[in-house]
A and B are shown apart, each in its own frame.
Chain A
Amino acid sequence: MAPAPEHCPGTESEQAGKADACQGCPNQQICATAPKGPDPDLPQIKERLSSIKHKILVLSGKGGVGKSTFSSQLSFALAEMNRQVGLLDIDICGPSIPKITGVEGESLHESNLGWEPVYSPAYDNLAIMSIGFLLKDPDEAVIWRGPKKNGLIKQFLRDVYWDQLDFLVVDTPPGTSDEHLSITQYLKAGGIDGAVVVTTPQEVALLDVRKEINFCKKVGIPVLGVVENMAGFVCPNCRGETRIFAPTTGGAAKMCQEMNVPLLGSIPLDPLIARSCDEGKSYLQQAPQSPTTQALKAVFEKIVAAVEKTQI
């Protein structure tokens, strides 16, 4: 296996790709040919981000745990709380946000202010941006390697006219790769309030989520907390409870204790969530009294309090 060179000069350095230590590193060619010196787009990105009060990343090590569901429901809830919200979808290969937020099929418009985000039909204080708006055919596969994905993420931050926002929620694909490094790199200038890490209770998910939390620690993103999704199911017929994804190693609670990060809450399964997402509606509005809604609302309130530094 090719590890990072022991004396890697750093990808931003003048020596990147050219130092003796770079020989044999798979990144060598890219580092050697990439432009050096300060990124000319950074001032514009900083300018765009300066009108955004709080930035939250929604992360997970694992796929299929409900990141996009969580990001969109959080955004709906924030909009319901009369905040100005932006929801940025940086899952380039699998952009689910337009469908989940009811704006599938919309296209990108440009104005003299930049790329106009698409506004939710239900909330005019919720602005959404996704590669989904750039694709002509919804079945079109975005077969891009890392550098091209990074380029688009940069464009999203440089060119989208968000105007004044209280919150920018960033939905990410699973993992700790190009998209995560890029968004961290670009948002850091303006400060990231923190990351919400989504998991499901079983060890197979937690294994990946621990890596994600370690990634946050490594790159200096505060972890606002962990949300344990799909934590149990109550049968609508008999009210019997089943732990479908059993927390064989203590679930998110134990992991949070071990890693010293807050557990924001455990959210039970509800078939209506999948349906609301498929229909592009706010689940909280569709099922205002459900235990899942109560659990989600409690998590959202904790996030807002932590970020706006108020008491619940």
Chain B
Amino acid sequence: MSIGFLLDSKDSAVVWRGPRKTAIIKQFVEDVAWGELDYLVIDTPPGTSDEHITVCESLAKYNPDGAVIVTTPQNVSIADVRKEITFCKKIGLPILGVVENMSGFVCPHCAECTNIFSTGGGEAMAKELDIPFIGRIPIDPLIGSACEAGKSFIEANKASSSLDALRNFAANYPQPSHATLESSTDKMSE
């Protein structure tokens, strides 16, 4: 579900102030007929404003598992992400872990790794703030290509290790209580 599906044209700007954004987010939480779901993943814009406050308040009674915090390694990003972590703590949202994205680029021509956006900042922050570190994701042009094509990177690049951090996170995530042992084993071996 996305507001993208509600726009007349994909180029239409959604020029809304906070209250209207709040209203649609409440509708997304309360009025979408998801049916039975094992997981609901919520993508958010950057910041700690209307969208974040509203989605947390609306979800509170449904006991959200928590937040995954995504950062890039450099200090400028870490500085903002620390605020996001403060937000989670203040609003009582558990933090499932930190992902350090765009962490290093391995040149496809010579295999030299360049830390375009520095490296290690996310891991260091997680350690300092005593938050689980989910892992690093390198800059891999194929990830971007998969997004551009609307495809699953892992599905399209089974041999790649770029998203191993996320693969492991998903594989080790506590299974929902209503799943049978057999079906969850099938999913983990896919």
Binding site for B on A (CB under 8 A): 1-2, 4, 26-27, 29-30, 63-64, 68, 92-94, 96, 99-100, 138-147, 149, 173-178, 180-181, 202-204, 207, 210-212, 214-215, 218-219, 233, 235-238, 240, 242-246, 248-249, 269-271, 274-275, 277-278
Contacts and interface: CB of A to CB of B under 8 A. Distances in A.
Interface string B102-128: 000101111010111110000000000
A5 to B, nearest CB: 11
B13 A212 contact: yes
Interface in B33-80: 45-50, 52-53, 72, 74-76, 79-80
A246 B85 CA distance: 32
A243 B142 CA distance: 11
A139 B86 contact: yes
Contacts of B17: 27, 146, 177-178, 181
Nearest to B3: A1
B87 interface: yes
B13 A243 contact: no
Interface residues of B, number: 57
Contacts of A219: 15
B139 interface: yes
Contacts of A4: 20
Contacts of B108: 240, 242
A273 to B, nearest CB: 9
B158 to A, nearest CB: 21
Contact of A26 (B22, B82, B115): B22
23 contacts: A2-B23, A27-B20, A92-B49, A138-B82, A143-B52, A146-B18, A149-B49, A174-B46, A176-B14, A202-B147, A207-B10, A214-B12, A215-B15, A218-B13, A235-B109, A235-B110, A236-B112, A242-B105, A271-B115, A271-B116, A274-B74, A274-B118, A275-B118
